[in-house]
Structure 1
Amino acid sequence: MTNIVTPSTAALTEAPFVAPYAAPENAFDEAFEVNRLPRLAWQSVMSAVHELGAEGMQDRHLRAQRILRDDGATYNLKSDPLSPNVWSLDIIPQVMVESEWRVLEAALKQRAKLFDLIYKDLYGEQRLLKEGILPSEIVFSHPGFLRQCHGLNWPTDIMLTFHAVDLVRDQSGRFIATGDRTQAPSGAGYALENRTVVSRVLPSLFRESQTMRLAGFFQTVRETLSKLALHLTESPRIVVLTPGAYSSTYFEQAYMANHLGYPLVQGGDLTVRNGKVWMKSLNGLSRVDVIVRRVEDAFCDQAELRSDSMLGVPGLLEVARQGNVVVTNPLGSGLLETPAILAFLPQISQFLMAEELLLDSVETYWCGDTNHMGYIEANLKRLIIKPAFRGINSKSIYCHQLDAKGLADTLAMVKANPVGFVAQHYIPSSYSPIWDNGVMHARPGILRTFSVATDEDFCVMPGGLSRVADHDDQCIVSKRLSGSRSKDMWVLSDSTETDIDVPLDNLPTSQAQAANLPSRVVENLFWFGRYAERAEMSLRLMRTIFKQLNGIDRFPTESREVLLGAMSEITGSLPGFQDQPELIENPNDELAALVVDANRVGSIKANLQQMLACAEQVKEMLSADTRIILNELRDHIHSVDRAYVNGLPSVPEESLDSLVTSLLAISGLNHESMLRGMDWMFQEIGRRTERALLTANLLKQTLSRPLPSLQQQQVLESVLLSVEALISFRRRYRTRARVSYGLDLLMIDRSNPRSLIYQIEQLRKYLEELPQSEQTVLGLSPDKRLIIKSLNDIQLADLESLAQIDESTQTRADLAELMTQIIEQLEKLTTLISDKYFDHTAGPQQLIKAKWKNNV
């Protein structure tokens, strides 16, 4: 194990240019020479670290974490909307000089070309197999080899649009490739986010370092993707296909889609019709020309590949074969990720390119080869055993960590299925400095580089995604992005770089058009608005109940019954306080559960979780300020959880104030800052519909039951207080607390933004602006008919009659009937909106569940 010495804070001050940690054993040190002085490229970085000191570095480290959290930068493995895993970044950049980079860049371009040729050969002439250069067992037994992709139609000479390589440095400092990513390479977006954050927290160092910019690479990505569909249209529609918000790298997918300016879609947003792929949107079907996929090969098409997939588009592969859509990277490219190919890569390079490889791969032996197997048996202790066919749960076995029994078991496992395993030499990763807990340490690291195809060559991102282990006892960094922290990779230019001039006139027309949103996006925004209103109304009523129960005036049983019963009805958490006298007298446990029990449907926390889950589904649509407020809301939820850990706190209403404030901030930000597009429109429709429903329900539950004058006044004022109208009511009506006056303010007062009529009129206005069906509708559409009827019902209501008590039922029956009618009409309206604008996004349904394996 490498001996790393933890330095004191003073070490950096007394000897700023001497490594504050011991030299790694049997591994290359990225930052320091053998004499422990900084390498030339690292001197400015080490000087900056010294000048900032421990306190300054720690401050910038915390600032970087805040920026990442505010940006919503996550790497999620648990899909928890309340506690997402914030992307881990070390603020000390990884550094490389341009001369060294140019050598590596040439090698990476050659490697990308080679893998493109391998793909075209394996899905074309298959000369590698016919000439025995590559054993056919590696290809034909691999589940990633898709026979359906043989002879796939492609519009350009280069088929492999994106290529990524994982690199380590050996003890001499030489770069060695340990694996290739050809299916849906991830990490480029995280590299861009790292650059953005580090340049903000270390601005002076970044400006003075003449670091090569990343903008040119991403501009090349845009140009390459646009050219892929020039045979179809001059203004192609390009989309990014994501597995969804529960994908571990969903942040990067949304981030890249936003940065490149493409819609982020899921499989259910696309459909195949008439031999083409279409995006289902509010404006109908829009032709899709290029799909940048982040979904694995087998899950992309339920019709021809995995029938149990819920992530793909049935029929996609057939459309791609016909050349009517370009899916990149091309389907079937997952085959190239098998480490077994590395064992034969030098021969493949000679055969396909007549060139020696400029970038060596880690020494690899395929267990299906008899000669290789003999070497493996003799040297097992020095090797790493890997599955030849990588999957999500694939694990590497580090044989130098095994005892005699472990080695014997591993060898037996390999011999039982030699075709399915490879062996590789173990190369200790190079060590890089990181800032951790106020001091500088060294950790083993790995670098992932990214290449994108151009007309005849490849463009390599000047830098990449550098990752280092979280602990000094880790012998290698996982090839997954989890379990490690990342670093910004700086390639120091020999000259000052000029800004990239982007010719705007050359951009495809589609990039300048108004966004045509998938229906799934507006549906999530619609429900985001609804859940926000549910949570806010519940919070407001809960605060009012706490104030009344703990107030200086006595709160009689009748008043308790009405308000607590209304709380159960508003949250929908029944039976709750309904017809349960023991809870009315001792409500604390039930009230606490309605606040913090996430498993209670309708509770405040459950509604907030649902709202945050909707926000995660449309992360790409949220502004930076909205994300900041949502993060603050998460913090407040955790604070409330802590306050309620032993039941109701001493002043329970104050603990809820921060939640209400955050919800109001989100509402205000959306109202003042969002463009009035369909995304804003549907969020507002969700808010207004839910507020109208809850207001009608609140009036029905609280005011339809007659009470003695004192209790009636308490209940009416409680209702007014919960909707922020009590002060206005008192100014208007002084002390005359009549039910009809309350109905005037809460039902028909257009100046009150929380009145029932205000919500209905807003809904009527929004419905007029929504896209309409091309089918001819005689008269008013059903949704508009419902709105007008609800509006008329409210306007024609006689408030004095509504306030009268029915002698036979001893209730305000007319009020209860009217509110019930309005609630039913609004619920029908939400169903019509869902049927008209959302439900056609439902994914394909299996009629028969296949019992056989999909890769047979």
Structure 2
Amino acid sequence: MPTTKTSWLNSYKTHQGNDEMYSLNDEVKPYWNKLFKGFDKLGVNGLTARQKDIDWLLSENGVTYNVYNDPKGMHRPWSLNVVPFVLHQEEWNRVEAGLKQRAELLNLVLKDVYGERKLIKDGIVPYEVIYGHRGFLRQCSGMELNMEKFLSIYAADLCRGTDGRLWVVNDRTEAPSGMGYALENRSTSSRILPEMFAKMNVKRLSGFFQKFNQMLIDAAPGKKENPNIVILTPGSHNETYFEHAYMASFLGYPLVQGNDLVVRDGFLWMKSLQGLKQIDVVLRRVDDAFTDPLELREDSHLGVAGLLDVVRRKNVSVINPIGSGVIENPGLIPFMPAIAKYFLKEELILPQIASWWCGQEKEKNYVLENLSKLVVKRIDRTNRESIYFGELMSVKEIDALKKVIIERPYRFVAQEHINFSTAPNLTNESLEPRNVVARAFCIASKDQYSVMPGGLVRVASDSETVRVSNQRGGTSKDLWILDETASTEDKSRQWQQKSSVAISGLNDLPSLTAENLYWAGRYVGRTLVNARFLRTVMRQMAIVQNRDEKPDSEKLKVLFKAVTHLTATYPGFIEKDKNGKLAMDNPYEEMLSVILDKNRVGSLAHTIGMFSNSYYSIRNLWSSDMWRVFENIQKLWNSLVDGEDHSINRILKVLNQLITRLIAFMGLIEESIMVQQGLLLYFIGLQLEQSSLTITKCRALLTIKYDEQVEYDLLEYLLTSHESLNIYRYSYRSHIELEHVLDLVVLDLDYARSLTFMINRLQKDISRLPHSKQDHQLSNYQKFVFEAFSKLRLAESTELAKTKSETDYAREELNHLMKTLSKLLHQTSQSISNTYFNHTDKQNQLFTQSFPI
């Protein structure tokens, strides 16, 4: 009996017959109808509102996908459509069985490729399919692993074929991405559509991720009970870096880069602040060839020199194993039926896209004769543009492709051009069909494979787009597997059956993460101090402008020069530039450059950019509230930089808001992580930067004696930019005097903004660093800070305020003290970096190898 359509479905028009909502006889599938009955209750406005809630929530949580060369910037917001992709459990059971079978087959292929190579010897797979693939690494030949299953994680891209069944389009085995995005999609959709989620009996994902975590634990050498596990990322510029950070935070494992790890004595170690910590399991997100610059790509900065040797010794488990990219190979697809019969004596459960490997004469001739109807790929993913759609190519382009294929036919595979199935997508308050591809995930679980009851569905950017890709502006959907009964699965995340893991501390902090925390503190401090001082200067420029005066008064000249010293944007207001111009002749133009020019080192825009980079690099440590404040800072700043209004009043307004949000951000940092989990490094960086900039301000404004009125104004500007004017008035209740300012801003041991207080705090913080507690001796950085603190404690404001004579203008004692302190803090910073953040060791190959990109 035909299903009665809902109002949503009555208006839904597809451009082709192959649509997910419809069966082969053009009837709406019952579970899709049930979904849209629920959407009918929401109505157009209600469903559109839910979509806006999803967009807002993803933005608030900072879910991003890095699109290379994107004019919108690297950190592009992740997009999730409110309409999910739904499949019934009955259909999913067959898909699940097919995915398990395919994962097992590829696992056997991987073992065979680096083992006995029976597939090649027995003529099941031509040797060119394997040896002609850039993912085949001879260095991995004969390698044994700690895991029973070589292939620990498998992902398959699925689309519905013309026969109504889901087909396998691609296999992903090297470092499959998307699992974290699928989890975030589920978290978001279940929050925004809770009533639909419950009524539709959606299968939950928690059990799968418990198995995933257990798989990592079981992979440890010697079945270690509480192994040390890390997630290896290429870094914050990688397209799926959000996922790396998200999974590290979700699972609770350190997120490391290649420089965080080192090989010693046949074992893999993580460089922490307390020394080396042995690593048992690496979940890698770095491509095969980049994992070991000693044996593989010598130009790689992403891997660890000697890692392959540790794997050979079975002293570490890498998931997926290095070399697994060779089976991410469309050239294998034509031979998969024969492989299934050879290894399992079975037929393939899941159909796959029709493919012809051009290394065979008959198949090559067929491809050459039918290029205009086929899709041609390299057998390895050499680059993102090496896919040729015959129907979209000109005669000249087809002829050129033929020549390339004839020259090296074994490098190419052709596939049938099929139209992906479409699914409803909420677009502009109406349902429109969009091409979709679903990515499903398998993990090795003991002696079998487990399949995620869901996945990541990618959606084409518009109705005309054939290729479905996030890099091409596509969106995503949550994949709902619907059961007849409500899920009773435990939602809790109790990962380990036996757990005796202590609270993590500095020994669990990768050295690169520690360095990023340190520089996050420095850049936050620099941004705040510079923003406050620039605001003070701009206020004075506004007063002069309102009075219609020329900005050439002596006090303004001193302030302008102080800006150059504080930001280190030389020559600035100090000297003429390379064109012989003096910035003092056009101070407004120079101030705009110092504030807004992101390409000028030292400018406020450049500093904010560096602050943003340091934040992104350790985003797995921060709370969601911090992300929201951080996003507000970015949006506010971009509104100024990209806007046309750069008037003094507009800049002042933005600086006020920026300072307020920075203070909120700094307050939230202390709530995100514990001191011994890395906050200590942030505090050290912050105190060092604020102390150094306070010294610079004092040298620029106080070491020269000026006329009484000018000096009074400069003292007031210093107190204002230091947020100390009210404290001064409350404390001294007198006319502003240099000695009192020095007492408050420089020498007061109890005032949190004074230089002495900050250096004393720095002294206490660095004493908690691991090397500070060894041998009962002061480390070099402790000596430098101790000397700086001692000089401040011995200083007297009356002596610092003096000049040699009434006619002398230089306060030499004050200048000498500030200069000495500046040098000592610089030495402190260098000593800390040399002790804890040395990532410069490089090992070279004894011979050069070529790994094509």
TM over 0.5: yes
- Tell me the CA shift for residue 59 of structure 1: 2.2
Contact 1:184–1:296 under 8 Å retained in 2 = yes
Q: Which residue of 1 aligns with 2:375?
A: 384
Contact 1:241–1:295 under 8 Å retained in 2 = yes
- Tell me the CA shift for residue 760 of structure 1: 0.8
Render the CA deviation track for 1:658-716: whole Å, top value 9, x for unaligned: 11111111111123554222411110111111111111111111011111111111110
CA distance in 1, matches of 2:649, 2:175: 53
1:577 aligns with 2:568: no
TM-aligned CA distance change 1:107 to 1:652, over 3 Å: closer
Match of 1:451, SS state, is strand
Match of 1:445, SS state, is strand
Which amino acid in 2 is paired with 1:212?
K
Render the CA deviation track for 1:5-53: whole Å, top value 9, x for unaligned: xxxxxxxxx961534232332x421124578764211123212332223
CA distance in 1, matches of 2:441, 2:356: 26
Match of 1:754, SS state, is coil
1:496 aligns with 2:486: yes
CA distance in 1, matches of 2:189, 2:14: 26
Q: Which residue of 2 aligns with 1:596?
A: 596
CA distance in 2, matches of 1:394, 1:283: 46
Which amino acid in 2 is paired with 1:286?
K
Q: Which residue of 2 aligns with 1:187?
A: 178
State the identity %.
35
Match of 1:531 among 515, 523, 528: 523
Contact 1:783–1:833 under 8 Å retained in 2 = yes
TM-aligned CA distance change 1:775 to 1:163, over 3 Å: same
Match of 2:97 among 106, 122, 129: 106
Render the CA deviation track for 1:62-89: whole Å, top value 9, x for unaligned: 2212222222211112489976211121
Contact 1:261–1:511 under 8 Å retained in 2 = no
CA distance in 2, matches of 1:616, 1:651: 28
- Tell me the CA shift for residue 855 of structure 1: 6.9
- Tell me the CA shift for residue 273 of structure 1: 0.6
Which amino acid in 1 is paired with 2:530?
S
Match of 2:82, SS state, is strand
1:606 aligns with 2:606: yes
Render the CA deviation track for 1:578-631: whole Å, top value 9, x for unaligned: 156954353111111111100111111100000000011111111111111110
Q: Which residue of 1 aligns with 2:561?
A: 565
Contact 2:535–2:655 under 8 Å retained in 1 = yes
CA distance in 2, matches of 1:238, 1:451: 20
Match of 2:222, SS state, is coil
- Tell me the CA shift for residue 400 of structure 1: 2.0
Match of 1:90, SS state, is coil
- Tell me the CA shift for residue 457 of structure 1: 0.7
CA RMSD of aligned residues (A): 2.4
Q: Which residue of 2 aligns with 1:853?
A: 850
Which amino acid in 1 is paired with 2:570?
L
- Tell me the CA shift for residue 483 of structure 1: 3.0
Q: Which residue of 2 aligns with 1:3?
A: none
Q: Which residue of 1 aligns with 2:730?
A: 731
Match of 1:216 among 207, 212, 225: 207
Render the CA deviation track for 1:294-344: whole Å, top value 9, x for unaligned: 111111111111111111111111111111111111111111011010011
Which amino acid in 2 is paired with 1:220?
K
Match of 1:50 among 28, 40, 50: 40
Q: Which residue of 1 aligns with 2:398?
A: 407
CA distance in 2, matches of 1:18, 1:467: 22
CA distance in 1, matches of 2:648, 2:41: 47
Match of 2:55 among 51, 65, 68: 65
Contact 2:622–2:672 under 8 Å retained in 1 = no
Q: What is the 5 A alignment of 1:595-634?
A: 595-634=595-634
Match of 1:75 among 59, 65, 71: 65
Question: Which is worse superposed, 578-587 or 267-276?
Answer: 578-587
Q: What is the 5 A alignment of 1:174-573?
A: 174-231=165-222, 233-478=224-469, 482-500=472-490, 506-510=497-501, 513-514=504-505, 516-551=508-543, 557-573=553-569
Render the CA deviation track for 1:510-545: whole Å, top value 9, x for unaligned: 486547110100111111111111111111111111
Which amino acid in 1 is paired with 2:787?
K
Q: Which residue of 2 aligns with 1:171?
A: 162
Aligned residues: 838
Q: Which residue of 1 aligns with 2:694?
A: 695
CA distance in 2, matches of 1:855, 1:627: 38
TM-score, scaled to structure 1: 0.94
1:782 aligns with 2:780: yes
Match of 1:245, SS state, is coil
TM-aligned CA distance change 1:843 to 1:661, over 3 Å: farther
Match of 1:75, SS state, is strand
Which amino acid in 2 is paired with 1:549?
M
CA distance in 2, matches of 1:649, 1:849: 60
Match of 1:496, SS state, is coil
CA distance in 2, matches of 1:127, 1:140: 14
Which amino acid in 1 is paired with 2:730?
R
CA distance in 2, matches of 1:505, 1:241: 21
- Tell me the CA shift for residue 437 of structure 1: 2.3
Q: What is the 5 A alignment of 1:132-143?
A: 132-143=123-134
Which amino acid in 2 is paired with 1:40?
P
CA distance in 2, matches of 1:383, 1:24: 21
Moved over 6 A (4+): 34-37, 79-82, 552-556
Render the CA deviation track for 1:234-288: whole Å, top value 9, x for unaligned: 2211111111111111111111122122111111111111011001101210111
**Structure 1: stretches of 5+ with no match in the other structure:** 1-13
1:823 aligns with 2:832: no
Q: Which residue of 2 aligns with 1:41?
A: 31
- Tell me the CA shift for residue 212 of structure 1: 0.3
Contact 2:161–2:167 under 8 Å retained in 1 = yes
Which amino acid in 2 is paired with 1:151?
G
Question: Which is worse superposed, 227-236 or 425-434?
Answer: 227-236
Q: Which residue of 2 aligns with 1:127?
A: 118
Render the CA deviation track for 1:819-838: whole Å, top value 9, x for unaligned: 11111111111111111111
TM-aligned CA distance change 1:129 to 1:652, over 3 Å: closer
Which amino acid in 2 is paired with 1:541?
F
**Structure 2: stretches of 5+ with no match in the other structure:** none
- Tell me the CA shift for residue 729 of structure 1: 1.4
CA distance in 2, matches of 1:517, 1:731: 43
Render the CA deviation track for 1:154-184: whole Å, top value 9, x for unaligned: 2232110000001110123211111100110
Q: Which residue of 2 aligns with 1:4?
A: none
TM-aligned CA distance change 1:649 to 1:33, over 3 Å: farther
CA distance in 2, matches of 1:53, 1:171: 33
Q: What is the 5 A alignment of 1:613-692?
A: 613-643=613-643, 645=644, 647-672=646-671, 674-692=673-691
Contact 1:238–1:290 under 8 Å retained in 2 = yes
Question: Which is worse superposed, 723-732 or 423-432?
Answer: 723-732
Question: Which is worse superposed, 275-284 or 749-758?
Answer: 749-758
1:832 aligns with 2:831: yes
CA distance in 1, matches of 2:115, 2:746: 71
TM-aligned CA distance change 1:671 to 1:511, over 3 Å: closer
Contact 2:14–2:433 under 8 Å retained in 1 = no
TM-aligned CA distance change 1:637 to 1:306, over 3 Å: same
Q: Which residue of 2 aligns with 1:29?
A: 19
Contact 2:538–2:648 under 8 Å retained in 1 = no
CA distance in 1, matches of 2:627, 2:495: 30
